[in-house]
Structures are given as C-alpha cells and as structure tokens.
Amino acid sequence: MNLLLTSLFLLFFFFFFFFFQSYSVLSLRILEADPCGPTSHRDPRTLRSDQITILINGFSESRIPLLQSITAAYSASPIVSAVLVLWGNPSTSAQTLEELAHNLTLSSFGSAAISLFRQPSSSLNARFLPRPTVETRAVLICDDDVEIDSKSFAFAFRIWGANPDRLIGFFARSHDFDLSRKEWIYTVHPDRYSIVLTKSMILKTEYLFQYSCGGGAAMHRMREIVDRMRNCEDILMNFVVGDEVNAGPILVGAERARDWGDARNDKDDIDDGRRGLMGEVAQVGLSSRRGEHRKRRGECIREFHRVMGKMPLRYSYGKVVNSVGEQGLCQKEEICPSDEKALVLYNPTDTPLLRLPPPPDFSIILNSDLVPGLKDIFLLGQSKTLKQDKYEVGKEQTNSCLAIVPWGQYNLPVTSRGEEEEMSDPMDAEEVDMMDTDECNFGCSGGTATAFGLDGMD
C-alpha cells in the first residue's frame, strides 16, 4: 500500500513538474505600451555575449507547422538564450494564437525560453522594436519560412562576435546607381553587395533601439516610408547600421539554407544545379512578383537617400565560409602540399582567385593583422613575392577581400590596386530575372575562392 501511494505521489510530482516546466517555457505576451521607454534601452554591459536571442517574424497561419519546426530547432541550440515569436497578423484570432502557443510548447525540446508576442500592429517596423525581455547582446532577426542549418547558424554567431558592430547575414542584395536614369536602384551584383536581408540577419541589440527610437525626425519619416510601402524595413536597417559604422555587412555562406517561401523549392528537394561551394544550398527568391517588388525596393532606396541626404550603404565583397573544400580550389597532389590554410587579402579581378598559372594582373597580398592571433605566423618579410599592401595602414579606405585558401609557397606576383570608383552598369533584364539565387551570387562558381569583404566604398 505504501509502495502504491509512493508511486502515485511520484507520478503526480513528475506530471506537475512537466506541466509547469512546459508552460514556463512558453508564454503569450503583449508588448509593453512604450517600447522606447527607459526600460527598453538596457546597458549593453549587462547583456550576455555568449548567447543570442531569436526574433522570428510570424504572419501567415498556413505556415504555422513550419514555424513550429523552426522554433523547436532554435530552442534546442545551446547558444540560444530565448526564442521570441513575433506574430504580426492582426486578423489572427485569439483561439488560433492560444493553439499556437500550446503547439509550440509541445514541439519544443530545448532549454531556451519561448515567448509568443502579438505585435501591436501589422507594421514591418515592429519586428525591430526593442524588447526588455532580451538579455543578450545579439539578436537573430529571421522569417518564419527560412531554415538555416545549426552549424552555419553557430558559425555566423561567431563571426558576429568578431564583428559586433556589423550586420551578419546569409542572403545579400545590392544598391547601385543607374547612370542612364540617374537614380539609385535595387539589384544584385555578381561580386559585391551592400544589403543583407531579414530572412536571417544577426545584429547587436542596440540597433533595435536605434532603429525604433533614435534618429529624430528623419528616422521617423523613413519609418513612415516603410509603413507606406509595406516593405523595405531590412533596407532601412542596413541604412542605419551603414551610417553608424561606415562599413558594409558581412555575408556568411551556409552549408544548407532553405527558403520555403520560394515556390521553386516545391519542385525538387535540392538538385545538383543548386550546389554552392560549401554544400547544398537551395535557391531562394524575393517574391513571385519580382519586377514590381524590385521597383518598390528601389523606390525605398531613393526615398531613404532623399530623407537622409546621403548614401550610407557600403559595399562588401565575397563571403565568410566555415571551411573550404578542395573542389574548384586546387588539385590535391600537385597544388595543395598540406592541409594548412592561409588567410590572405586579395584585390578582386575578373579572374578566379586560384586559376593557375596566375595571370599577369593577378594581385594577392598577405595580411597577418586581420584576425587576432595570426600576427607573425606567416613568413611576411621573408618572402620576396608577398608583402604588405600600402592600404593596410588605412584599412578603412580599402576594398580588398579576405580569403581562406590552401597554403603553399606559391610564386604569385603582386600588383598595386587602383581606386575603384566607376559605377557598374545596370544588369540586363534577363540577368535581373535570375537575381534571386542567393547561394552563388558572388563569384562562387567554378574555381573561385570564397572570401568576405572588409570595407565598403561609396
């Protein structure tokens, strides 16, 4: 009898504990009345830098099952402090949100707290509202239909840790100046970018307050442009950060990134034609109405430029990758004498980085000061062909690129780099139709080495 009572007590205890634990993980909340109040602007020194908070923008009820899957994956990550689902569809019923809260609880097996917030409005600006519940120095802004593999996500967070003032993202676009029309446009370049999208973007928490509460009357007018266009909040955040740090964003290569909002992903899982340098990456798109979408976003760029009175967007080149495969870089026995990798600074040309023999206009410069701990590792000063670039003294003026390549005593010529001041011609219509393939926009076909840009230019 005593054994039976003890067993019943233990069952009741574990049931109560599990029930309490589940509902302590997820709660349905409403944002505080004044998101720009004193409690919203916390001292960054009081925030954690070893973890990140996830802010998932939710709107479509048809994507709730996918949202549950993505939320569960993030909550299971050890680097995630909390997951905040920001529901921005005002027509969603309270019953649906209650069911969503319950289902998110059941689908979560991680230790990160999950909160479901009903946004105060359908404004896209609301995804950048500062939130007192955020206890980390970095946040990931992401959509409810984009999946990034956990390894690439963790790597991107480490890249942010080394560049906390920059925007870090997996999907990039660009601004440009159309000389024929004499106006700014929204486009994609094969070798440079100036905008990372909120499909998946890491930024420091302070930028939420700066976007939503700072900037005075000019920033207020630009947020109104976002509301009027019902678009471009990601472009405006790139404007804000570019103006703050005078540097472009950093693009990170993902081993697997999938945008379920792109109808082209419904045909096949991932085929051989969608492989990037670092693994299988599905093609992702902007919108089914691409032409109109691009025009509206180009109009946003022009309006932001008009209100701000300057163009703060800066170009970056290439992307950061977690590792470099052998395919397309070298022949294993002849060119790669070891598994060591070299960190090099190179000037972009129209020729793939490691095409051998190198063309006469090829430029490669070793820079041992780019990453802490690399100084004096390489034989800088002992090589007659590798030397410091004159632009290294003033790195804020250089548009050189960083690459990780197989290390060997190569006899590569060095040529100086001239200023790149000419604007690129706008893309042809046929090329623009293909602008949605994010995984291979920046010279990642064939034998080109991957890299990431250090500085931007006007």
Residues 74, 64: Cα–Cα separation, whole Å:
15
Residues 44, 298: Cα–Cα separation, whole Å:
34
The rounded Cα 194 to chain-centroid distance in angstroms is 12
The three-state secondary structure class of 147 is: strand
DSSP 267: T
The rounded Cα 183 to chain-centroid distance in angstroms is 27
Amino acid at 103: N
Two structure tokens written together for 174: 């660009």
Residues 352, 328: Cα–Cα separation, whole Å:
10
Instruction: Compute the chain's Rg from CA coordinates.
Output: 24
27: left (phi over 0), alpha (psi -120 to 50) or beta: beta
CA distances from residue 187 to 45, 53, 162, 194, 218 in whole angstroms, order as listed: 38, 30, 28, 10, 25
Residues 176, 424: Cα–Cα separation, whole Å:
7
216: left (phi over 0), alpha (psi -120 to 50) or beta: left
DSSP 359: P
Nearest alpha-carbon partner for 346 in 260, 419, 415, 447: 415
Given the residues 144, 145, 234, 455, the one annotated as active site: 234
End-to-end CA distance of the chain: 81
Yes or no: say if 280 and 421 are a contact pair by the CB < 8 Å rule: no
Nearest alpha-carbon partner for 162 in 193, 191, 134, 138: 138
Longest dimension (CA), the chain: 91
Strand-strand pairing, 48-58 and 146-148: unpaired
DSSP 233: H
Residues 423, 282: Cα–Cα separation, whole Å:
30
Is 234 one of the annotated active-site residues of the chain? yes
Residues 192, 91: Cα–Cα separation, whole Å:
40
Give me the count of residues in the chain.
458
Annotated catalytic sites, by residue?
234
